[in-house]
């Protein structure tokens, strides 16, 4: 009898909608579901994750959404790259999650404010080439 009670719930009931965002090598994966409006990044409150203007940058999609964001809980896991790329990836992930949950009005609002909220940055670091220290930098030639 007790074994039946401890069954794992199906994934559809347990979890919400999944989203992913990238910036350089930072990858943010998020889950959005109905709730009370909390946002966690790497199991920390979003205010602990980022400080100063970076926090304002991360919270842009929430401020733009207004009361619509208070209906959902968002959990984001981010890894790779530096703190600024992580912040941009988290920001994009939160915006994509809210658009997925709420719909077209938010999409138009975010696109008008900043297109990078919904579109990933595809630029990557260029590979190092032979005879140089970096991708483009080469040894200087001396004529004398």
Burial of 90 (0-12, 13-18, 19+ CB in 10 A): buried
pLDDT at site 139: 82
pLDDT at site 50: 87
pLDDT at site 121: 87
pLDDT at site 131: 84
* Domain 14-117 class in CATH: alpha beta
For residue 24, which of 95, 97, 79, 74 has the smallest C-alpha distance?
79
Residues of the chain with pLDDT under 70: 1-15
pLDDT at site 3: 53
Contacts of 57 (CB under 8 A, 6+ apart): 50, 87, 88, 91
φ and ψ at residue 80, rounded to 5 degrees? 90, 155
Element (H, E) at 56: helix 53-58
pLDDT at site 16: 85
pLDDT at site 12: 47
Whether the model pTM is above 0.75: yes
């Amino acid at each position: 009898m007790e074994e039946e009670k401890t069954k794992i719930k199906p994934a559809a009931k347990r979890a919400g909608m999944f989203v992913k965002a990238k910036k350089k090598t930072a990858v943010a994966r998020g889950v959005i579901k109905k709730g009370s409006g909390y946002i966690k990044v790497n199991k920390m409150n979003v205010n602990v994750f980022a400080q100063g203007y970076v926090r304002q940058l991360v919270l842009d999609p929430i401020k733009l959404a207004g009361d619509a964001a208070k209906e959902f809980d968002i959990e984001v896991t981010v890894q790779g790259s530096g703190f600024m790329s992580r912040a941009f990836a988290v920001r994009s992930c939160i915006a994509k999650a809210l658009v997925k949950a709420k719909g077209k009005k938010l999409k138009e609002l975010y696109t008008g404010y900043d297109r990078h909220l919904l579109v990933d940055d595809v630029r990557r670091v260029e590979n190092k080439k032979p005879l140089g220290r970096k991708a483009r930098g080469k040894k200087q030639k001396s004529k004398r």
